[in-house]
Structure 1
Amino acid sequence: MVEEKKFENKYGYFTEDGREYVITDPKTPRPWANIISNGDYSFMVSQTGGGCSWRGNAGQNRLTRLYQDTIKDNWGKYMYIRDVESEEYWSAAWNPVQTDYDEYEVRHGIGYSVFNQKVNGIKSSMKVFVTPNDPVEILEVTVTNESDRVRKLDLTSYFEWEAGKHPDEHREFHKIFMDTEYDQDMKAVKLEKYLWGFPDKKGLANNVDWDYVGFHAVSQDVKSFDCDKETFVGMYSDEATPEGLEADKLAENQGRFGDAAAALQVDVTLEPGEEKTVVYTIGSAAKGKDEIEGVNNEPEDADKLIQEYTSVEGAKEAFKEVQEFWSELIDAEKVDTPDDALNFMTNYWLKYQAISCRLWAKSAYYQTSAGYGYRDQLQDSQIFLTSKPELARKQIIAHAEQQFQEGDVYHWWFTIGGGGPRTKCSDDLLWLPFILDAYLKETNDYTVLDEVVEFLDGGEADVYEHCKRAIEMSFSRFSPRGVPLMGHHDWNDGLSAIGPDMKGESFWVGEFLYMILESFIPLAEARDDNKFADKMKTVKENMKEAVNEYGWDGEWYLQATTDAGLKVGSKENEEGKIFLMPNIWAIMSGIADEERTETVIDSINEYLLEDYGTLLNYPAFTEPRTDIGYVTRYAPGLRENGGVYTHAATWSVWAYAAAGEGELAYEAYRRICPPNRFDNPDEYMAEPYVTPGNSDGPLSPMFGRGGWTWYTGSSQWLQRVATNWILGVRADYDGLIVDPCIPAEWDGYTMKRKFRNTTYQITVDNSVHVNQGVKEIKLDGEAIEGNKLPDLDDGEEHQVEVTLG
């Protein structure tokens, strides 16, 4: 039976079940990558074989070298296949040799990628993945002789070590601290580096070792090796034509006086029709000196890791564990709707993107990160709520630890060594209570409130108190009119010059805070913190009044006022006269009444809902504004300046659904759902299986071009708005709400949803073809009142039949 190819274009397609994306032409418009991580060790790999590896984070502990260039994509960990008799060679991925092939495909999957190729009668398959529990990356290379004669081949790996902070601008300085060694017993190259770049405990610069042993090993006897880029690549050659492959064997240089690289060469002889597998590993083992915060202080044995995984049997067992590992994270919730794009992204790719890249790897081709964003990874952690909520709990506590006693927080922080910028950003600190509420609704785990967490500047308090102090700090940042101050910026970082003097206002922060107070007031009352609860009630009502009085511009809500009192996001403005965020959050928060909601929806439809999603603002700024911020310095139509900023565009789906606009909610979703861009890949450019951070707006000559893929908070939110607001199944404190807001043409859908200790198999019947409205719900055949499934907490599976009407 031939598998159906879904959303096929000239570069590739989804497999029928949606779990793999198959690239059939390596010359994609941009790198179409996979970001693979186990939460500790990570690597990125493109469809050409480009990429690099790191541990912890890619900015402070890069293992292999890559310099950012999405046009050339010319850095990677390469595998060469050479016909020893003819002396022809090619690479197991398209790069670096770029040989003409008879067959080529790359299968990006959940936790792995596979490069399949046929050249000169030799079929090769290179599977790359990270072991679930150890800092080891496996490259499993299988070669098959499809010719009618004996073939004598050799396989040669090659990459450059970086071993430490990235970018290593002073490369000539850093390389002289690297020490490479070939270990014959282990069939491995090993690397140590006597400089990391951190100060020691006395504050002395350049006085700390890189606290790891890097290794690269192979599963069979080594024909030759090299640890020096100069002798492998050559002064006047490149990776496509390395000097090392012009000789029978590699140069076998090692030590401290070369340019640290790793190459291992093995012989493979194949009879006609014969197949053989060779396993290579790359990894890093901690020395355990415990000199730097955030570094593993338990020593690891490089030899033990090599022995465990560098074999055909070890690799196959590890891959089986990879599949089980990701199934636990991905398969707890599954939907089946008439829309395959929604199904594929919701079931697999958005979860995978949010976890593997955004939360764990923290880097991708368009951006290298050395840490966590305070607001960013808090939001991302919601992806764990239906599968492993304990990981969301862990993230909440980790972020509470980045708070000062006054209630403000680091805007972001380094995960190795700690530290970060302490700013007057007006929204960062508020995401802690916001995400806490989502966690409580999902888990009913109120013990998290009593978890005691230290402040950055001394002392400690429970999580409830950390949230309270964040809210109290926000209360201290109000204008005389009762509107929250913008400070250095709000959610839109590009509004960086509106309120540095602490006079400019953010109406969006008012709406955001209003929603938070709605959920935090009952928490305070339940803990008999009645004085604070009463204060929140007063602020909440006064703020609602202020936002509606001063923030309403007649047809939509203002974004802000500047320190000088000028309106931003007003019909009085020629550029940037309407912003998406304050208008959708007015609906989401409930600050807007029914009449204003209708007016706002009309304004969004008129000015912001475009072919590829809802724009962040309109019209784009064409000249820099020193009183607004760097958003005005982007080219018109690019990113936050009149483009579709996907993170915010996902929230427009929520707003449309909250307003009861099922067709518009789905349309806003459909326009930003990546597989739906399959038919114009050269215009879209981005991978069709993960969300982009942005798509160019109508003023850009590249209208619709996607950019900054993988490392974007939009992935978790696109998954969440699909399940919570289109399919309408969302957690509440005492049960699971079922309130679909779907296209009327849908006959219905099914959904498997784990909620606390119960699994619900939900079938929605929309044979009357409405957008919204639950007529009846049956739980195990018995009708229930309302549209909220009870918290059964029984460890069982239950059948739910929902009839719309």
Structure 2
Amino acid sequence: MARMEKKIYEFTNDGNSCVIYDAKPPRYWFNYLWNENGYCAQVSQNGHGRSYYLNERADMCMINNNDARYFYIRDDETNKSWNIGAAPLNEQVESYQCEHSIGFSRLQSECQGIESSWSIFVPQTGFQEVWTFRLKNKSRKTRTLSTFSAVTFELEGFSYPRYYEMYRCLETSFDRELNGIYCRSAHPFAPHKRYNAYLAASEPVYAYDGDLARFCGAAGSVTKLDASAYALFQRPDVVVNGSDCTNSEAALFILGGVLQHKFILQPGETKEIRMVFGVSESLDEARATAKMYADAKRTESACKEAVEYNLDKYSSLSVTTPDSKINHIMNQWLKKQIDCCIVGKKGVRDNLQIAVALLNYRQEKAREEILECLRHQFRDGHAVLTWYPYDDTRYSDQPFWIIWAVCELIKETGDYTILQKKIEWQDGGAAAVVEHLKAAADCLIRDKGRNGLSRIYFADWNDALNITTDPEAESVMLSHQFCLAFRELKLLMEKIGETDYAEFLKKEYDTMRKSINEKAWDGEWYMRALSKKENIGSRTSEGSKIYLNAQTWAVLGDVVDEEKLPKLLTSVDSMEHDFGFPLNMPPYEKYSPNVGRMSGMLPGLFENGGVYCHATGFKILMDCKLGRAEKALCTLKKIMPDSEKNPSTQSGAEPYVFTNCYSTHPKYYGKSYWSWTTGTSAWCMKGLYEGIMGVKRGYDGLEITPCFPKEWERAEMTRHFRNADYHIVIENPQCRKAVTSVIIVDGTQIKGNRIPDFADNKKHEIKVILQ
């Protein structure tokens, strides 16, 4: 619940919905709705947002520009007009609320005696979103209303030769059988046929506009330098002047779809209209889809199916802790956020991290994503940064994530045959997955620099750390990750009988660990990078002295020894901030070419001393590995949405999903930049389920080693693993730091912490008693 006098939101429906009561929170609070066909609709608390389609080859079709999706209501007798969600007309409405739920969004409000609602969902299959509008006359007199549903058409998102911009190839027309506006593309280089869009209605259209300049007015559009244009919807002429749409059609500029309907509502009467907005391969396909959803029962059934599907795909994993906020966010919303990252991100490093989190609850989807990432690996072992948009800038960390993710996949599935599956290379040919792993390992070995550490190239995980003064500069963080990768790959090779190669990997691990501790230890912490001009993240460095990731990964990669560990932890703890842990301290005050882009930002923004929540997620796992349960929980709660020290009213971020970063700059203090598509979600899932709850996948089964905070007396979770379901209850009856645990499986105590690998399609009861 929001902590302020006026309640601006609350969780309902067992936490599956967040109901927003303020139409104007600090920034737009979005929901994302999508299906497995690749159609996605972003919906704000006002109802606007971008809609796009991304096919299996990552060919993008951004349907609308400037996030234009609007619905206007006008009293034709008084000429008073408004929106259900208050914007973009910004006319005040009463009884406003927006329910963002797992499978739909619904806005409702009241104005001028008219109660209205707008529901949006994306069907389980297809390439469209479906809207339902309801208008009820709560006044005592007959009302004559006009409604205007408005969208833009852009259909951009793919590469083409110069002067073949999509707007040169588009035209809109009204089709009676469609009962809507159809936007046809004639682009000769479109990568697939689904670059046509439409807006259709269930009720007869009174008037329409396919030319947004006619709807918004000449002063309601902006022309850009290349003469293309876009519409402004704050005060569209047709709506505010009391006129009707002009039945315009258009080509080239300011294309969109506006459908006007007129309703006469008796006192107490309700009217409903359904609309479909989407893409199609042809006009006939659009007509058939619109006809399907013109039926009220079919629409209601499809919405129910979409909601049930979305809830079901997240049902195999759940948690119940003494903290209700953790329960609300870390159950459905966190899983939905991780799932959403796959829809929007097409990068090897990003998708592998997301996929490993997905292994906890969508194993088949995770497998699919991990193997897809391998297809974008080059034969020399490195990989592209992103395949949409295509970017093969030489980042150094992709091989690490490949090894780590495949090892985690095999731990999850127990299926070693994956290693023999042939996967294509980005630069041609194909090889077994095990050869992809060995190529990644060879790449990491080959990429060692003058000090025996891993070269950073353009950047490692930190995109903004670009050491332009030294092409041989080395990344300490990646060197830690090298150690983790070789340790994990060694275990896998032992499992498949490649003992000689496993021994080779062990020697490489030992050599790298020794080099790091000799070359990168700075007395109280590890430096972040080594370069000829100046080492970065050292006590003697100009600007920033310490970097968080160089410390957390030293623990995760088993690099730091017992002597150095207390000093390292003291240094990490000294970085603590109300919002989490800054990426580096202090921030850079001026640009340094030896550091690159991050030093060119204002101090406290983004990577330059901001609290980068993704990196704080690494720190949670570090704490759990070391048994620092209270530190882990405290760190998690600092970066959770709407935290105690940084509520959503200050940060601006949605109160139901994680954000990427919080600013420490005094003029943007506490504010976040974007949410939803951030790896923070994946690492916070790992932090709670695998770290604090301690339920980890292993080659021989699930292993349970909780890192339980003293204040928690009990928690429970469900987990699907290798064709069996586990209900796990962890009890801490004495509320103290646990040293050992007793594990009881189906009523029988077992030795050790590994759960039997039943794989029997049954549910098993696991009790863990901490002592």
TM over 0.5: yes
**Paired position in structure 1 for 2:383:** 409
Contact 1:142-1:275 within 8 A present in 2 as well: yes
SS in 1 for 2:466: coil
**Paired position in structure 1 for 2:172:** 180
**Paired position in structure 2 for 1:277:** 272
**Paired position in structure 2 for 1:291:** none
SS in 1 for 2:356: helix
Q: Distance in 2 between matches of 1:754 and 1:275?
A: 46
Residue 290 of structure 2 is aligned to residue 306 of structure 1: yes
**Paired position in structure 2 for 1:397:** 371
Instruction: Work out which of the residue numbers 623, 648, 662 in structure 2 matches 1:681.
Output: 648
Q: Distance in 1 between matches of 2:506 and 2:28?
A: 51
Q: Distance in 1 between matches of 2:103 and 2:645?
A: 23
Residue 423 of structure 2 aligns with an amino acid whose one-letter code is V
SS in 1 for 2:435: helix
Q: Distance in 2 between matches of 1:249 and 1:258?
A: 21
Shift of 1:500: 5.2
Deviations 1:160-196 (A, max 9, x none): 1112238999999753421112111221211112237
Instruction: Work out which of the residue numbers 687, 709, 718 in structure 2 matches 1:721.
Output: 687
**Paired position in structure 2 for 1:433:** 403
Structure 1 segment 358-757 matched on structure 2, within 5 A: 358-362=341-345, 372-414=346-388, 420-497=390-467, 501=471, 503-564=472-533, 566-606=534-574, 608-677=575-644, 680-697=647-664, 699-757=665-723
**Paired position in structure 2 for 1:69:** none
SS in 1 for 2:688: helix
Residue 236 of structure 2 aligns with an amino acid whose one-letter code is P
SS in 1 for 2:673: strand
Deviations 1:36-64 (A, max 9, x none): 22241112122222312111189942111
Q: Distance in 2 between matches of 1:82 and 1:558?
A: 63
**Paired position in structure 1 for 2:233:** 239
Sort the Cα spacing of 1:647 and 1:631 in 2 relative to 1 into closer, same or farther, 3 A: same
SS in 2 for 1:708: coil
Deviations 1:142-175 (A, max 9, x none): 1122222333323220111112238999999753
Residue 124 of structure 2 is aligned to residue 157 of structure 1: no
SS in 1 for 2:45: coil
Contact 2:178-2:286 within 8 A present in 1 as well: no
Sort the Cα spacing of 1:145 and 1:215 in 2 relative to 1 into closer, same or farther, 3 A: same
Deviations 1:515-568 (A, max 9, x none): 11112113334444444333212111111111111121111111110143x221
Sort the Cα spacing of 1:229 and 1:18 in 2 relative to 1 into closer, same or farther, 3 A: same
Structure 1 segment 200-211 matched on structure 2, within 5 A: 211=194
Residue 317 of structure 2 aligns with an amino acid whose one-letter code is E
Contact 1:221-1:266 within 8 A present in 2 as well: yes
**Paired position in structure 2 for 1:11:** 8
Q: Distance in 1 between matches of 2:163 and 2:655?
A: 36
Residue 281 of structure 2 aligns with an amino acid whose one-letter code is A
Q: Distance in 1 between matches of 2:499 and 2:158?
A: 50
Residue 110 of structure 2 aligns with an amino acid whose one-letter code is K
**Paired position in structure 1 for 2:247:** 252
Instruction: Work out which of the residue numbers 59, 68, 72 in structure 2 matches 1:76.
Output: 68
Q: Distance in 1 between matches of 2:463 and 2:514?
A: 26
Shift of 1:84: 2.9
Residue 361 of structure 1 aligns with an amino acid whose one-letter code is G
Contact 2:537-2:545 within 8 A present in 1 as well: yes
Residue 216 of structure 2 aligns with an amino acid whose one-letter code is V
SS in 2 for 1:36: strand
Shift of 1:466: 0.9
Sort the Cα spacing of 1:721 and 1:309 in 2 relative to 1 into closer, same or farther, 3 A: same
**Paired position in structure 1 for 2:63:** 63
Q: Distance in 1 between matches of 2:395 and 2:547?
A: 19
Residue 334 of structure 1 aligns with an amino acid whose one-letter code is S
Contact 1:693-1:709 within 8 A present in 2 as well: yes
**Paired position in structure 1 for 2:44:** 46
SS in 1 for 2:456: coil
Number of residues of Structure 1 aligned to a counterpart in Structure 2: 755
Q: Distance in 2 between matches of 1:781 and 1:671?
A: 38
**Paired position in structure 2 for 1:230:** 213
Shift of 1:590: 1.4
Sort the Cα spacing of 1:541 and 1:499 in 2 relative to 1 into closer, same or farther, 3 A: farther
CA RMSD across the alignment: 2.4
Instruction: Work out which of the residue numbers 297, 305, 312 in structure 2 matches 1:321.
Output: 305
**Paired position in structure 1 for 2:227:** none
Shift of 1:79: 0.8
Residue 732 of structure 2 is aligned to residue 766 of structure 1: yes
Residue 616 of structure 2 aligns with an amino acid whose one-letter code is A
Sort the Cα spacing of 1:567 and 1:209 in 2 relative to 1 into closer, same or farther, 3 A: closer
Residue 578 of structure 1 aligns with an amino acid whose one-letter code is I
Contact 2:641-2:648 within 8 A present in 1 as well: no
**Paired position in structure 2 for 1:148:** 140
Sort the Cα spacing of 1:675 and 1:422 in 2 relative to 1 into closer, same or farther, 3 A: same
Contact 2:2-2:642 within 8 A present in 1 as well: no
**Paired position in structure 2 for 1:294:** none
Contact 2:114-2:138 within 8 A present in 1 as well: yes
Sort the Cα spacing of 1:303 and 1:563 in 2 relative to 1 into closer, same or farther, 3 A: farther
Residue 328 of structure 2 is aligned to residue 344 of structure 1: yes
Contact 1:774-1:802 within 8 A present in 2 as well: no
Contact 2:131-2:274 within 8 A present in 1 as well: yes
Sort the Cα spacing of 1:580 and 1:196 in 2 relative to 1 into closer, same or farther, 3 A: farther
Instruction: Work out which of the residue numbers 255, 258, 265 in structure 1 matches 2:260.
Output: 265
Residue 587 of structure 1 aligns with an amino acid whose one-letter code is V
Shift of 1:118: 0.6
Residue 33 of structure 1 aligns with an amino acid whose one-letter code is F
Residue 720 of structure 1 aligns with an amino acid whose one-letter code is K
Shift of 1:604: 0.5
Residue 24 of structure 2 is aligned to residue 35 of structure 1: no
SS in 1 for 2:384: coil
Moved over 6 A (4+): 166-173
SS in 2 for 1:595: coil
Contact 2:624-2:707 within 8 A present in 1 as well: yes
SS in 1 for 2:174: strand
Contact 2:403-2:489 within 8 A present in 1 as well: yes
TM-score w.r.t. structure 2 length?
Answer: 0.93
Contact 1:60-1:164 within 8 A present in 2 as well: yes
Residue 459 of structure 2 aligns with an amino acid whose one-letter code is H
Deviations 1:708-756 (A, max 9, x none): 2222111121122111101111211112122221221111111111112
Q: Distance in 2 between matches of 1:793 and 1:438?
A: 18
Instruction: Work out which of the residue numbers 204, 214, 218 in structure 1 matches 2:197.
Output: 214
Shift of 1:258: 6.0
Gaps of at least 5 residues in structure 2 are 221-231
SS in 1 for 2:251: coil
Shift of 1:136: 0.8
Residue 332 of structure 2 aligns with an amino acid whose one-letter code is Y
TM-score w.r.t. structure 1 length?
Answer: 0.89
Q: Distance in 1 between matches of 2:569 and 2:593?
A: 31
Residue 705 of structure 1 aligns with an amino acid whose one-letter code is K
Q: Distance in 2 between matches of 1:521 and 1:172?
A: 51
Q: Distance in 1 between matches of 2:515 and 2:281?
A: 55
- What is the percent sequence identity of the aligned residues? 29
**Paired position in structure 2 for 1:116:** 108
Deviations 1:406-443 (A, max 9, x none): 1121111126xxxx333332101221111111111211
